[in-house]
């Protein structure tokens, strides 16, 4: 038996049975593999044709674009980095060995900084972490605020007066137990405003954290888009939605008229921000999604009638206004009828939609809403801010004389953000790092300090002169005291180690004192700290407010309508709206 090969079992099967077994095996293999190459015109071929016809079938268009899509790109992206602060008056410290120091050294070597280790050992420097947020629709070159904080176990005692050297911020994510970084999304630099400069709390940690107002610059433009739901993913559907958007939203790029939408794939449409909505991208996307897909026809009039009815009902008025705004000029008569309503909510929604259609009839209802209803104040100012009408500027200027401080400052910021805003405001550069404005001379007096977008001091009305009892000590060796030889004047002096003493005599008016502080070498943080200390000691009589902008997420209560000049105007928003009474 040894050496004899085992006999194959199938060989012992009779021939007819063998054939039947082989045929069964072939059928099983063909069924399992889905192979239809052995037959033509069978049931499998019919199934394949049916599937192909199903794929070629164009989905039925939805009533509204939002029924077929979801938005992409409306999230805010957090970016982080590290930076070096220099120019500190001996309050810095050597950077303690850490992952942050290694990261900063790598950046410094990459940009050929000479002897970076020695630089980080000086007590005039400090290592800080930097964080910023890239908003939806951001364009390359847009400014953003930077938040800075000292890393754990730091020996730095105060960042006041420092300058943040250029830092590169990236989006960071932990993937598979390792940190992955994007390319550089923000580059930033600028003077530091510490939290202790504007916050009355005495926490020592406030001295080693702060912000650089408008110091970051976006490096990568962010794209917005619509992702089609699976049941609507078809090249013709993407094309139909793109055409619907471009019929309503287009602009001139200098040579041709161009729509804002572009179909990239059968399931993705890229959206460019329309210039009219640059300051309110969220509303633009809401309006786009509230548009119908079909072109205007005889059914449009029926839709306008239905939307007019919905506009007159509080529960549906907000959405009806968005849909009417999406229809464009054909909806103007319906919206004009809406602003005649006696209901402040219905009137506001109609006026807001008209404003984005740049209709002058929207101005007075929006001004009224900003004055009377705090929940509508922020969106009303935003709508007025983007209108091309000259009357919108006049309406905002009137709002700067209202009693509500946040209404006044919100109106000021809306004017300042406009391309033509600077010519309407009496602003001037003070020193090298901030601007000062004197506005609304006939309105209530107030002194306002900005913590967002731009370093600025706004003097509203006619603030009284500083009334210093004996002297006032400020940061960085600043001392303010009355001049014994010239009543109504103050002596501003600054004493710093290693620098010549500086002395200046100025009138005690607030504007002249602010300019005097800058002239002896003080920066924005010095001015803010002096104003806060003057208010604390009673030397500043008028109201001092820190960033009293209207809140953007207030809720309107239909059953509890009230005048906007109430305690809500002074409600603090985190650490960025801190009115000091």
Cα(466)–Cα(447) distance, rounded to whole angstroms?
A: 12
Q: What is the pLDDT of residues 443-488, one digit of tens each?
A: 999 999 999 999 999 999 999 999 898 889 989 889 999 988 888 8
Q: What is the pLDDT of residues 162-173, one digit of tens each?
A: 999 999 999 988
Cβ(479)–Cβ(526) under 8 Å? no
Q: What secondary structure letter does DSSP report for 6?
A: P
Question: How many CB atoms are located within 10 Å of the residue 70 CB?
Answer: 12
- The number of residues in the chain equals 581
Q: At what angle do helices 524-537 and 510-519 cross, to 10 degrees?
A: 140
- Confidence at residue 55, expressed as pLDDT on a 0 to 100 scale: 58
pTM: 0.84
- Residue 402's SS3 state is coil
DSSP string covering 125-144, please?
-EEEEEEEEE-TT--TT-EE
Cα(166)–Cα(488) distance, rounded to whole angstroms?
A: 43
Which runs of consecutive H residues, i.e. helices, occur in 206-280?
Answer: 235-248
Using 50, 70 and 90 to split pLDDT, how confident is the model at 56? low
Cα(172)–Cα(79) distance, rounded to whole angstroms?
A: 7
| Cα-Cα-Cα-Cα dihedral sign, residues 72, 76, 80, 85 | positive
* Half-sphere exposure (Cβ direction) of 52: Cα atoms closer than 13 Å: 6
Question: Mean pLDDT in the chain?
Answer: 86
Q: What is the pLDDT of residues 358-392, one digit of tens each?
A: 999 999 999 999 999 999 999 999 999 999 888 99
Specify the range with the lowest mean pLDDT, choosing from 55-64, 89-98, 328-337, 519-528. Answer: 55-64
Span 332-345, mean pLDDT? Answer: 96
Q: What is the pLDDT of residues 408-437, one digit of tens each?
A: 999 999 999 998 888 889 899 998 889 999
Say whether pLDDT at 565 is over 80: no
- Confidence at residue 22, expressed as pLDDT on a 0 to 100 scale: 44
The rounded percent of the chain whose pLDDT value lies above 90 is: 68
Cβ(495)–Cβ(522) under 8 Å? no
The region that residue 141 occupies, defined by phi over 0 for left and psi between -120 and 50 for alpha, beta otherwise, is left
Q: What is the pLDDT of residues 170-195, one digit of tens each?
A: 998 877 767 788 899 999 999 999 99
Cβ(73)–Cβ(224) under 8 Å? yes
Using 50, 70 and 90 to split pLDDT, how confident is the model at 51? low
Specify the range with the lowest mean pLDDT, choosing from 195-209, 372-386, 528-542, 566-580. Answer: 566-580
More confident residue, 254 or 160: 160
Which tokens belong to 516? 């005097």
3-state helix, strand, coil in the chain (%, to 5): 40, 20, 40
Cβ(130)–Cβ(146) under 8 Å? yes
Using 50, 70 and 90 to split pLDDT, how confident is the model at 10? very low
């Amino acid at each position: 038996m040894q050496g004899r090969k085992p006999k194959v079992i199938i060989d012992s099967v009779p021939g007819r049975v063998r054939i039947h077994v082989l045929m069964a095996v072939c059928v099983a293999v063909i069924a399992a593999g889905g192979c239809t190459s052995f037959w033509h015109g069978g049931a499998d071929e019919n199934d394949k044709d049916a599937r192909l016809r199903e794929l070629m079938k164009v989905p039925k268009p939805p009533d509204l674009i939002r029924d077929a899509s979801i938005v992409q790109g409306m999230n805010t992206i957090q970016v982080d980095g590290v930076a070096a602060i220099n120019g500190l008056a001996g309050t810095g410290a050597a950077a303690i060995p850490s992952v942050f120091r290694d990261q900063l050294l790598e950046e410094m070597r990459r940009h050929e900084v000479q002897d970076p280790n020695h630089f980080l050992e000086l007590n005039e420097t400090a290592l800080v972490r930097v964080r910023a947020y890239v908003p939806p629709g951001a364009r390359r070159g847009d400014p953003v605020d930077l938040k800075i904080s000292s890393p754990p176990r730091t020996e730095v005692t105060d960042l006041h007066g420092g300058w943040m050297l250029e830092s590169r911020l990236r989006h960071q994510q932990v993937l598979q137990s390792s940190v992955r970084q994007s390319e550089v999304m923000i580059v930033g630099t600028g003077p530091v405003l510490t939290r202790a400069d504007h916050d009355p709390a005495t926490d020592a940690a406030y001295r080693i954290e702060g912000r650089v107002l408008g110091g970051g610059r976006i490096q990568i433009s962010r794209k917005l888009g619509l992702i089609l739901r699976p049941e609507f993913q078809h090249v013709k559907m993407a094309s139909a939605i793109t055409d619907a958007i471009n019929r309503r939203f287009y602009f001139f790029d200098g040579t041709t008229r161009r729509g804002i939408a572009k179909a990239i794939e059968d399931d993705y449409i890229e959206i460019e921000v329309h210039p009219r909505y640059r300051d309110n991208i969220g509303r633009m996307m809401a309006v786009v999604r509230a548009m119908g897909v079909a072109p205007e026809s005889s059914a449009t009039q029926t839709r306008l009638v239905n939307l007019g009815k919905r506009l007159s009902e509080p529960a549906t008025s907000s959405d009806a206004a968005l849909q009417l705004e999406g229809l464009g000029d054909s909806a103007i008569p319906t919206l004009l009828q809406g602003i005649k309503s006696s209901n402040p909510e219905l009137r506001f929604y109609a006026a807001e939609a008209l404003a984005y259609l740049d209709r002058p009839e929207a101005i007075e209802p929006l001004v009224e809403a900003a004055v009377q209803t705090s929940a509508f104040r922020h969106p009303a100012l935003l709508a007025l801010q983007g209108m091309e009408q000259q009357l919108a500027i006049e309406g905002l200027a009137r709002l700067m004389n209202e009693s509500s401080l946040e209404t006044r400052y919100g109106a000021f910021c809306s004017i300042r953000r406009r391309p033509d805003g600077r010519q309407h405001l009496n602003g001037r550069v003070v020193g090298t790092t901030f601007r000062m404005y004197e506005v609304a001379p006939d309105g209530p007096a107030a002194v306002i300090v900005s913590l967002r977008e731009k370093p600025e001091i706004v003097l509203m009305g006619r603030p009284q002169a500083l009334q210093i009892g004996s002297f006032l000590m400020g940061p960085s060796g600043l001392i303010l005291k009355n001049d014994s030889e010239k009543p109504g004047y103050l002596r501003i002096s600054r004493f710093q180690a290693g620098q010549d003493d500086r002395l200046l005599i100025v009138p005690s008016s607030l504007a002249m004192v602010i300019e005097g502080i800058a002239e002896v070498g003080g920066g924005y943080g010095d001015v803010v700290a002096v104003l806060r200390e003057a208010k604390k000691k009673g030397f500043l009589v008028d109201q001092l407010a820190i960033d009293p902008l209207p809140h953007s997420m207030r809720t309107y209560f239909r059953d509890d309508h009230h005048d906007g000049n109430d305690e809500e105007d002074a409600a603090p928003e985190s650490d960025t709206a801190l009115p000091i009474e």
